Structure 1
Amino acid sequence: MFIDAHNHLHDPRLGDPAPVIAEMRASGIDACMVNATCEDDWPLVEALAMEHPDFVLPAYGVHPWKAHLAAPGWEDRLHALLDRSPGAAIGECGLDRWVKEPDIAVQSPVFEAQLRLAREFDRPVVIHCLKAWQPLFESFGRMQPPRRFLMHSFNGSIETARRLIPLGAYFSFSGYFLQARKAEVVETFRQLPPDRILIETDAPDMLPPDAFITHPLEGANHPANLSAIARGFAAAMGLDSPGIAVRTTENFCRFFRG
């Protein structure tokens, strides 16, 4: 059985979550972490977690692309949500210099506020970082991360990873990186500590190559593709699929539950 370490099951591009979950279960997926990206997502993710408590693990946060949309009082409302959701993580949050707006100066305080909440609640945090490694370490200098955090869809260098590992980082591999032109990402994962590796779909985004699409969905990545992605990842890593399943599931449980 596999665990999808990062998706957006509430996204309307996936349609009704119930049949999607049924397809995920049938394909060998035991659970998934569903990540909110803005305050409007929070009640949707919360409802999924309440409706499917044995399958959906919630994460509530503000994505860097939406940092400028965080309404006054958002931090207090997130605090209240985390207070009534003892099993929730924080995320998706982070920093991104691939987009021009909002600026890093807008993203950073929103990100650091979520790091502060993660430390206060001792919750794992899910981090999106794209072309913003130096700002990430600067934020960590101002606000220490919690004792465990996930670099989702990690595509940084092994040198960056080695700076993150002592801080408590885990790293998740997305099927998008099974493209031949992303071979350097696979090579980085080969050098990571085996107990820090997870797998994810980032559904409905980050489509894998056609060979790893078992559940076609027009214009979107179906989260049930995870099992095929895991097999592709295992082959790329020189491991077997059952071994990847056991290892990444154990790693996820350690990451999520402490």
Structure 2
Amino acid sequence: MCHDVGSMSTCASLLSDAHCHADDARFVAAQRKYGVSSVISCANGDQWRHASAWIGDSLSIRASFGIHPWDADRYRIADAMPYLEQTLIVGEIGLDGEWTDVPLAAQLPVFEAQLDYASRRRKPVVLHTKSREREVLELIRRYPNRYMVHWYACDRWQDDYLDLGCYMSIGPDVTTDESVRRLAARIPDDRLLVESDGLESLTWAMGREYGVDDYVDALTGLLRSLTAIRAAVRGRATDVCEVAEMTRRNLASFCVPIPSRPL
């Protein structure tokens, strides 16, 4: 088994990015070149059309669509419906109490309408929870579904989300944010995911500029950090390729269509 993802040897084919934003075709081209399995988040029609064109016939890169909480006062559900109908994964959707001026009163109906749609149509959901973790938790309890909580960075309610069976995606700041480190060590093996959130978020989280040429190295570095954290807490050696394979397999499981409920 390979021990060095960064060398772009055998483990390179096991890379995954559970949640990212694509600014241009070069980013998706890099994912295709290195076989990265990913979900590209789209928040409007232009992003959806671009991502769909860039993804092309790839079987390992997928696009999700949802009205982001930052845009909840600008877009109507009716306008988003053509793209919600096309997507197999709804998101990212949710609530935000820190990084936006959009009032909670505007965010809530948009979020709940999308939760209702995704639950009825049996489509997995990618969640944004920043500083509204409790409110998001209360709402998703009303809408049984398969959920991915993207880049969760809060010490509270971790058990509640895990008890609901949520997949949890670890973001780039796992080496610097203690909340993320603690969560990274305790997510069950079958629900652990890893994400870049895109180049802009990598740049923000790591404090230096990240371009397309840095993307794969950033993913492999994140995997190495995640592997070391889990090994230290669990008291057993863990191969980085094992974690790479695990997170890629989990992403495939998250994305698979949800069976219809029996009549």
How far the C-alpha of 1:244 sits from its partner, in A, is 0.7
Aligned residue type for 1:234: T
Distance 1:32 1:110 in 2: 25
Amino acid at match of 2:109: P
CA contact (8 A) 2:77 2:110 kept: no
1:175 equivalenced with 2:172 (yes/no): yes
| Amino acid corresponding to residue 16 of structure 2 in structure 1 | I
Distance 2:200 2:214 in 1: 6
Q: CA deviation at 1:107?
A: 0.7
The Cα shift of 1:29 comes to 4.2
Distance 1:46 1:145 in 2: 28
1:126 and 1:90 map into 2 onto residues whose CA distance is 6
CA RMSD in angstroms comes to: 2.6
**1:204–1:221: structure 2 CA closer, same or farther, 3 Å change rule?**
farther
Query: Runs of 4+ in structure 1 displaced over 3 angstroms?
Result: 19-26, 220-224
The answer to whether the Cα contact below 8 Å between 2:44 and 2:67 also exists between their aligned partners in 1 is: yes
Further displaced range: 122-131 or 112-121 = 112-121
1:70 is aligned, of 72, 75, 89, to 75
> In the TM superposition, what is the alpha-carbon distance from 1:223 to its structure 2 partner?
5.9
Report the alpha carbon displacement of residue 193 of structure 1 after superposing the two structures with TM.
Answer: 1.5
Give the whole-Å Cα distance in 2 for the aligned partners of 1:81 and 1:241: 35
Per-residue Cα deviation, 1:130-174 (whole angstroms, up to 9, x for no partner) = 000222133235x4141x1100011122x5121112323110011
Counterpart CA distance in 2 for 1:234 and 1:43 is 36
- Indicate yes or no: 2:145 matched with 1:161: no
Distance (whole Å) between structure 2 residues aligned to residue 72 and residue 23 of structure 1: 33
**Among 20, 24, 37, which residue is 2:27 paired with?**
20
Pairing 1:183-202 to 2, within 5 Å after superposition: 183-202=178-197
Other-structure match for 1:85: none
- Unaligned 5+ segments in structure 2 are 1-13, 232-237, 259-263
- Which amino acid in the other structure matches residue 137 of structure 2? F
Aligned residues: 236
Question: d(CA) in 1 for partners of 2:165 and 2:51?
Answer: 26
Q: 1:185 to 1:162 in 2, by over 3 A?
A: same
Partner of 2:241: 242
- Which residue pairs with 2:17 in the alignment? 4
Assess if the C-alpha contact under 8 Å between 1:8 and 1:35 holds in 2.
yes
Q: Pairwise mapping of residues 44-193 of structure 1 onto structure 2 (< 5 A)? A: 44-49=50-55, 51-71=56-76, 73-82=78-87, 88-140=88-140, 143-146=142-145, 148-157=146-155, 159-179=156-176, 182-193=177-188
Structure 1 gaps of 5+ residues are 83-87
Identity of aligned residues (%): 25
